[in-house]
Structure 1
Amino acid sequence: MRRWGMLALGTAAQTVACVFVYGLPYLSDELRNGSGLTLGQVGLLVACPTAGLVLALVAWGALADRIGERVVIVAGLAGSAVLLGAGSTVEGLVPLGVVLTLAGAASASVHAASGRLVVGWFSAEERGLAMGIRQTATPLGMGLAALVVPALAARAGVSGSLLFSAVLCGVVAVLVGMLAADPPRPASAAPEEPSGSPYRQAALWRVHASSALLCVPQFTAGAFGMVFLVEVRGWSAVQAGQLLAVAQVLGAGSRIAAGRWSDRVGSRVRPMRRLSLCIAVVMGLTALGAVWPSPLTDAAVVLACGITASTNGLAFTATAELAGRAWSGRAMGVQNTGQNLAASLTPPLLGALIGAAGYAWGFALAAGIAAAASAVVPAGPVRGGPGSRVKAWGGARAGRTTAPAGRRG
């Protein structure tokens, strides 16, 4: 059962990193009223951790490939804890922005290495499920931030909220340092292991590209679902927030279900392609609901917020399996970079379109991009189930008398 412990540690590390990176928007009111910042300045601060994250992902991934996952995760979380603790004492837009950017760069270690840790401990027959569970860290982190950060900011201000994130990062860093272990490393690559640069094959580039495209419907639904329910459907902000909390639960469940599906069918890309088409259909129905609003529109928004997150784990698992052990950290860093860039660009660009042409056109464009993503998903045998060419990374030492690394413990 050791591999499940590694999954729990990797998921916990990713969750606390997400509390900080994606929880800053919940400080917006305190930053405006308590610190006297303008809305534009608040937006700049909120973007700082993501900017640091994007800049550091590939470097942390390369370091994980070289020295291992546990050290990288511990170093990044410990660095985040120290920087966030220092940030709680900093005043002023520029100094705070610098600290938040550096803390975001430190937290990138978790995004680059925790998935590598999970993939390395699980055999191909369970890897999709494991990565689906690991990918629930994002909605878990956002949910924890939504529950704690606004109330804490009201009592202790921005400094208290940053200290909360610092403590979380510090505690999990200690746990990972004490309890985590890198997956067994084979003396030489397994015969099935891809050799050389994985970027010589088009499949990995297509996984990156399709996954970035699928961030557009995901962040369209996430960024504009609540305001759509309030402005078009007449929900109160509190009621809309509660409804979308259900969507977050649905999103977490969809990641797990998609991962398990990929294990059963022995392919990551086949479910990814079919889910892309489902996302296109659901976003299309949401666009129609914007033209002809009805109670079904509300259900379409919830379903859209849930199903658009379903492919994340599949894309990361396919990336790791295509890259192989020697390149997986860097490849998942590239994967994360593409997704975060798409996630950063989607709200302002789609927001401009929605402001000019209405919600229907914005949702329809997201549907069209999801359909395009289904065509970009590679058609080759990116597999993960029985008979797969990509088995557990310890497979080089796993002969007839030795279980694969993912099955030990």
Structure 2
Amino acid sequence: MGDDQDGQQRWIVLAVGMVAMISGCAFQFGLPYLIPALRDEGLSLSQAGLLAACPTAGLVLTLAAWGAAADRWGERWVLASGLGLGGLVLLAATTVHGTVALGACFLLAGAAGASAHASSGRLILGWFPARQRGLAMGLRQTSLPLGVALAALLLPPLAAHGRATALAVLGALSTASALLVAAVVRDPARPGPGAGGRAANPYRTPVLWRLHGAATLLVVPQFTVSVFALVFLVDERGWSPSTAGPLLAGVQVAGAGARLAAGRWSDLAGSRTGPMRRLALTAAAVLAALAAGALAHSAAATAALMAAGVLTVSTNGLSFTAVAEYAGGAWAGRALGLHTTVQNAVAAGVAPTAGALIGAAGYGWAYALAAVFPLLAVAVLPGGGGRGG
């Protein structure tokens, strides 16, 4: 295959990988848009938040295993089989009743869909040369907000016809993506032994641990805002779900653009942590404004919520790039696997915890607490300079 064909193939692989990630993320992180429908079934906000967190919990349980499977058998079939299984479970969930049974289905579907996170990044690393990998990974990282945007557009109107209808569409999307991956994607050539990357264990210094810690702290405000944005607009601002959904979809698209812009900024600055630090400080200020607006029942809280929805996701791609660059080729897979696992483990706990806090003290105090976490992240981030700096 010639260079032109290789170039065309890598961008096709990226496009299909993004479709796979978007369909997976629409379910794994988009279930909060079903919370009003779940509450209509008699669930409390805390119970509905717990169900919304189940896919993320499933992802945490299997992410490392899917990564090991991709190392051994290749990315194509791991990605296709996980998405296909997740889609079938979602289709089966349309007939399930009861909180425990529904939670088990969501957990299993999230565990299966974790293959997208374990495999799509490896496809990009294998297909793209270093000079294009930053842009490709930046595009890949937009899949999460685009998936959530898709959920924001689809789920509120679909839920009006019943929870089963919404789950059936999510299951069909995941299954269709699996078939597309199987038909189109080819595994990249594997590097020979010892090809590229630092051999020494990068965890012998605190840099990677601090990058993991800072990025994980930034997950708390991100999910506090995204999980309860629709419920806040419905409960506190009196919006209908079908009106709030498209607006929040636009926020997710803007968040995807913010990730790309942050990545480009870091390329120009020659630093990943410098832009991360500035964006985290800005997010803390916006979250404080959101808390004040929510406590005062002010209409300004809506604008602050939109800004917070964009800013709290803007640093995600930077943290992944910093971890990969510091770890080097020999350790990047393991480092990124740990990074994703820890982030999602914390994310799984944010929805029920924040839901309980909102139920007990209100949205304003929940957002005020969320504003503290970006400040802690700034304190934990390693200094600039060098790989990952």
- Does 1:336 find its partner at 2:340? yes
Partner of 2:325: 321
Q: 1:351 to 1:159 in 2, by over 3 A?
A: closer
Q: Kindly state the Cα deviation for residue 213 of structure 1 after the two structures are TM-superposed.
A: 0.3
In the alignment, the residues of structure 1 paired with residue 205 and residue 69 of structure 2 have an alpha-carbon distance, to the nearest angstrom, of: 23
In the alignment, the residues of structure 2 paired with residue 271 and residue 326 of structure 1 have an alpha-carbon distance, to the nearest angstrom, of: 26
Partner of 2:190: 185
Q: 1:352 to 1:151 in 2, by over 3 A?
A: closer
Note the 1:190-339 alignment, pairs <5 A.
190=195, 193-226=197-230, 228=232, 234=237, 236-237=239-240, 240-290=244-294, 296-339=300-343
Q: Kindly state the Cα deviation for residue 307 of structure 1 after the two structures are TM-superposed.
A: 0.9
Partner of 1:75: 81
Q: Secondary structure at the match of 2:337?
A: helix
Q: Secondary structure at the match of 1:175?
A: helix
- Does 1:9 find its partner at 2:16? yes
Q: 1:279 to 1:128 in 2, by over 3 A?
A: farther
Partner of 1:22: 29
**Which ranges in structure 2 are unaligned for 5 or more consecutive residues?**
1-6
Q: 1:382 to 1:49 in 2, by over 3 A?
A: farther
Q: Kindly state the Cα deviation for residue 12 of structure 1 after the two structures are TM-superposed.
A: 0.9
Q: 1:92 to 1:228 in 2, by over 3 A?
A: closer
In the alignment, the residues of structure 2 paired with residue 181 and residue 285 of structure 1 have an alpha-carbon distance, to the nearest angstrom, of: 48
Normalising by structure 1, we get a TM-score of 0.80
Which range is displaced more, 24-33 or 334-343?
Answer: 24-33
Q: Is the 8 A contact 1:132 1:258 kept in 2?
A: no
In the alignment, the residues of structure 1 paired with residue 327 and residue 12 of structure 2 have an alpha-carbon distance, to the nearest angstrom, of: 24
Code of the aligned partner of 1:102: L
Note the 1:16-55 alignment, pairs <5 A.
16-28=23-35, 38-39=43-44, 42-55=48-61
Q: Kindly state the Cα deviation for residue 130 of structure 1 after the two structures are TM-superposed.
A: 2.3
In the alignment, the residues of structure 2 paired with residue 138 and residue 360 of structure 1 have an alpha-carbon distance, to the nearest angstrom, of: 26
In the alignment, the residues of structure 2 paired with residue 358 and residue 227 of structure 1 have an alpha-carbon distance, to the nearest angstrom, of: 12
Normalising by structure 2, we get a TM-score of 0.84
Code of the aligned partner of 1:20: F
- Residue deviations 1:29-76 (CA, integer Å, cap 9, x gap): 55566xx66446655543332221111112212322343322321221
In the alignment, the residues of structure 1 paired with residue 288 and residue 206 of structure 2 have an alpha-carbon distance, to the nearest angstrom, of: 30
Q: 1:294 to 1:93 in 2, by over 3 A?
A: closer
- Residue deviations 1:269-303 (CA, integer Å, cap 9, x gap): 22222222222222233344446676654433221
Q: Kindly state the Cα deviation for residue 313 of structure 1 after the two structures are TM-superposed.
A: 1.1
Q: Kindly state the Cα deviation for residue 17 of structure 1 after the two structures are TM-superposed.
A: 0.7
Q: Is the 8 A contact 2:198 2:330 kept in 1?
A: no
Which range is displaced more, 121-130 or 246-255?
Answer: 121-130
Q: Kindly state the Cα deviation for residue 260 of structure 1 after the two structures are TM-superposed.
A: 1.8
Instruction: Say what the alpha-carbon RMSD is for the aligned residues.
Output: 3.1
Partner of 1:144: 150
**Which ranges in structure 1 are unaligned for 5 or more consecutive residues?**
389-409
Q: Is the 8 A contact 1:258 1:271 kept in 2?
A: yes
Code of the aligned partner of 1:171: A
Code of the aligned partner of 1:182: D
Aligned residues: 380
Code of the aligned partner of 1:285: A
Q: 1:56 to 1:235 in 2, by over 3 A?
A: same
Q: Is the 8 A contact 1:112 1:332 kept in 2?
A: no
In the alignment, the residues of structure 2 paired with residue 243 and residue 100 of structure 1 have an alpha-carbon distance, to the nearest angstrom, of: 26
Q: Secondary structure at the match of 1:379?
A: coil
Which of 168, 172, 175 aligns to 1:170? It is: 175
Code of the aligned partner of 2:372: G
In the alignment, the residues of structure 2 paired with residue 99 and residue 351 of structure 1 have an alpha-carbon distance, to the nearest angstrom, of: 21
Q: Secondary structure at the match of 2:371?
A: helix
Q: Kindly state the Cα deviation for residue 85 of structure 1 after the two structures are TM-superposed.
A: 3.6
Q: 1:282 to 1:236 in 2, by over 3 A?
A: same
